[in-house]
Structure 1
C-alpha cells in the first residue's frame, strides 16, 4: 500500500514529500513549498523502558496484554522502537518477565516490530550505596554466564543489551561471551576503577548506561569512573535529560565531549504518565512522585528511583534549556540509538528505511506528537 506525507524535514528545514510503500520509505522528494508546516522525523527509539502508565515490566503479574498497552502508550509519545528493561530481581522473577515479553512478541506482530530487544539492567551491579541506585541489594551478584544463558533462553534470544558493573571477578570473560553471542554490553551502576573500566572496554563493552547517575554522592576529583568513561572514545553514552537526573552544566559538558556518540533514554518507570503521589515500586520500594515529575525513594530523597518522564519530555527539556537544537535533540532520540545498535545505520530519513515516522507540531514552545507511523501504518493520531 502506497502512502505519502508532506511537511518539513527535521534536519534540513526544507519542505518534503515522503512516499512509503509496504512499510518502507520509497522516496523523499524535496518540494518548492508545502502547505504543511509540521515537522517530519524518524520515530523515537528508547533503549531503557522499565514500564509506563502503571505497568511495570518487572511486576511478577505482568501479562502479555500489558506489553501491548505499554507499546501503544509508547506510540503516543512518539516511540516506535523500544527495549523493555528488566532490572535486578530474583532469578524466578527475571525469568517470568522475560518469558512474558517474549510470548507477547511472538503472538503480536505490532509488538514484535516495536520491541526490537530487551535490556537487562542487573543483577550484576555494584553492591555499594550510590552506584547500586534503587536496585535491591539482596539480589545483587557477580556475573554468571550459566544464569544469563538461562534467562536468554527464556527470552528466546531477545536480550540485546546488558548493563553490568565490571569490578566483579570474572566480568571480562563474561563480557567477551556476551559480545560473541551478539549482546551489547554497557557499563553502569559501577564503582569500578580505571584499570577495570579499561579492561571492560577491551573485552567489548561499548556503552555507558545513564552516565552521571547511579554514582556515589561524593567522588575523588580524579581519577574516578565518570572521567574514565567520559574520556573513552570507544564508549557510547546514554543520558536521562529530564532535568532531575543531571544538572544542565553536566549535560552541556557531556554533550560537548561526545557530540555524535550520545543518545537519550527515558529510563521510564510505571509511574510515567501517573499523577503525583506515594507509590510502591519493585525497584525502590516506597517511592514518591512529586508535582514537578521527580521520582525518588521516600526513605532517601537524595536517591532517584528511575524516571517518570517520556523521551519526548527529555527532548523538550534539552531544547527549552538551550542545551541543543531541535534537530540535534531529535537525532539523539531516534537516529543515534539505532547507530549504536547498528553502526551501518543511515543518518535520518532515507529511502529504503522502514517507515517509522513522526509528524510533529513545532510551532509551539514544545514539540508535540501529531501522528506516529509504524512501518507505514498510522498507529497514533492526536
Structure 2
C-alpha cells in the first residue's frame, strides 16, 4: 500500500511506494495528507532507555533490542549506543554485548552502525564532569582504547575527549588517523588546548553548553572558543531542560544549521514513569515533565526524552524551519559519521519517518519505514 504524506522540506503531497526496502516510486499524491515524511532520525548519543543502560553490568542482547525498538517508536531509524566513563571491564562488557547482539540480528545491524565512547578520557572537575563518575575519569590510553575497539568489533565510530587530559592531543591524532570521529566534551580546556585538539583532528563538540562549569569567565572560555572555531561541528540537546531557548537560538545561529547535530542524549531512565530510581550508584528522580534530576535537587542527571521531542522544540527555540530541524536530526549526524544519508528519491533506501506536526507543536511519530 503506498504512503501518502507531505514532503518535510517542500510541503508537497507525495505518494511513496516502497519495495524491497527502497523507494520504488515517488509522485504527487492525489489525496490531501496531513502527515509528513522525512529521512528517519539518527541520534549519535543514546545511552539507553526504559531502565536499560548500555553501561549496565547486566546488559543483554534483549536489552539492546528493547532500546532499539523504543528509539524506533520515536522516529529514530539509527543511532550510536553510547557508553560513558566507567572501568575498563565495564566498558568491554558493554561493547562486547552490543557487538554480539548486532551480529546476531540483521535489524539491529541496520539500526546500529557503530558506537560512541563518551569518556572515560574526560575532565574530573565538578561541572565539566557532569554525571560521569569521578573515580573512573582518566587520561587517554591508546592501548586501552584498542582493546575496547577489539571488543566492539571495530565499530567505535565516535569518541568524546577532554583536550586538557595528559596525552590527549596525541590520542586525538591516533583516533583521527584510524577514521574515528573525535568530539570535544566534558572539558575545561584552555583556548590553546582546544586549538591543539582541533589541529590534531577533533571535528565536533559533544552537547555544547552542557557538561560545563556553572560559572565561567566572561571571556575567554571554552564555550566561545568551540563556537568560534569553524572547523568544529556541534551537537545540542534541545529538549527544553538542558538548555534555555535563548541559548539554543544563540548556539545554532553561531554554528549554523549545516554544522549542528541534534541529540536527545537519552539515559537509561528515558521513557520511565515519574518516580525515584537508583541508578549510577545514586538516587535520581524522574519528574512528571520527564526531566531527570538528582533526587531532591534541580540538577540534571541525564536526559528523559527522545529525538522527536528535540526536533519540535528546536523549531520553536532556535527559530529554524521544519526542514532544517529534521536535517539536523537526520542528515547532519550521518554526514559527520560518513554514513549513507537516506533521500526522498526513487531508488534510495526507504529509511523514513512519518509524523504529525503543526507549527508551534510537537512532532508525533506515526512510524519508521
Task: Give TM-score, length-normalised by structure 1.
Answer: 0.92
Give distance in 1, aligned partners of 2:345 and 2:195. Answer: 36
Q: How does 1:134-149 map to 2 (within 5 A)?
A: 134-149=131-146
- Name the SS of the counterpart of 2:131 in structure 1: coil
Paired residues of 1:331 and 1:348 also in contact (CA < 8 A): no
Q: Give the match for residue 22 of structure 1.
A: 20
Q: Which runs of 5+ in 1 are unaligned?
A: 374-382
Question: Are residue 258 (structure 1) and residue 278 (structure 2) matched?
Answer: no
* Deviation (angstroms), 1:4: 3.5
Give distance in 1, aligned partners of 2:159 and 2:45. Answer: 11
Q: Which runs of 5+ in 2 are unaligned?
A: none
Q: Give the match for residue 350 of structure 1.
A: 345
Question: Are residue 71 (structure 1) and residue 65 (structure 2) matched?
Answer: no
- Name the SS of the counterpart of 2:144 in structure 1: helix
Q: How does 1:1-382 map to 2 (within 5 A)?
A: 4-29=2-27, 31=28, 33-259=30-256, 260-282=258-280, 285-298=282-295, 301=297, 303-321=299-317, 323-342=319-338, 348-363=343-358, 365-373=361-369
Q: Which moved more, 1:222-231 or 1:166-175?
A: 166-175
Post-superposition Cα deviations, 1:124-149, rounded to whole Å, max 9, x if no partner, equal 00011100001111111000000000
Give distance in 1, aligned partners of 2:319 and 2:12. Answer: 23
- Relative to structure 1, the CA distance from residue 176 to residue 27 in structure 2 (aligned partners, 3 Å threshold; closer, same or farther) is farther
Post-superposition Cα deviations, 1:83-104, rounded to whole Å, max 9, x if no partner, equal 1100111111110011000000
Give distance in 1, aligned partners of 2:265 and 2:136. Answer: 20
Give distance in 2, aligned partners of 1:84 and 1:41. Answer: 22
* Deviation (angstroms), 1:280: 1.4
Give distance in 2, aligned partners of 1:286 and 1:5. Answer: 45
Runs of 4+ in 1 over 4 A off after TM superposition: 345-348
Q: CA RMSD in A?
A: 1.8
- Residue-pair matches, total: 367
